[in-house]
Amino acid sequence: MPSPYFPTCFLFLRHPTTVQFLKFGIVGLVGFIVDTAFLYSGIEALGLGHIAAGFFAFPFAVTITWIGNRLFTFRDHAHESLAKQWTKFATVCAVGIVFNRGTYTLMVSLIPLVYAYPVLGLLGGTATGMFFNFFASKKLVFR
C-alpha cells in the first residue's frame, strides 16, 4: 500500500539510478558555479575571448565535480586510485565536452543575448552534457 506521504506517481524517485542522477545534478550545480566563476575570470581578469574562457574554465569544473561525485554521488562504489579515477573521469568529460562546450560555443556564437550573458551558454551546455556524463561516469568511472 502506498504511503499517504509519498504518492505513487513519485515512486521513481526511490529508484537507485534516479537518486544517483539527482545527486549528480546537485554536484553538477556546484560544478556549474565553479565553471561560471572561472569563465568570467577568464573573460574579465585574463582577457580571454568567450570561447577560450569557456575552455579555460572547464578543467576546474571537471575537477570539482569529480571530487563531489566521488565523495557524494558514488561514494558507495569501489574507488580506484585518485589519479586513475580522475583520469577516467576527465576522459569521459573530454568526450562530453563535445556536447557541453559545443552547445556553449554555438550559443555564444549565434545568439547575441548569450554573448552578452555567457552564463546562459554555460547553462545550455551543462544541460546538454549532463546526461552523457552521468551515464558514462556510472558505467566507466564509478563502477
For the chain, 143 residues long, give each residue's pLDDT as a single digit of tens: 555 565 565 666 678 889 999 999 999 999 999 999 999 999 999 999 999 999 899 899 999 999 999 999 999 887 789 999 999 999 999 898 899 889 999 999 999 999 999 999 999 998 998 989 999 999 999 98
Q: What is d(CA 57, CA 73) in angstroms, rounded to the nearest whole number?
A: 22
Q: What is d(CA 120, CA 113) in angstroms, rounded to the nearest whole number?
A: 8
> Taking Cα atoms as reference points, which of 140, 134, 135 lies closest to residue 28?
134
Please identify which residue in the block is written with the cell numbers 572561472.
38
Q: What is d(CA 124, CA 44) in angstroms, rounded to the nearest whole number?
A: 21
Domain spans in the chain, listed from the N-terminal domain onward: 16-141
Indicate the residue type of 103: T
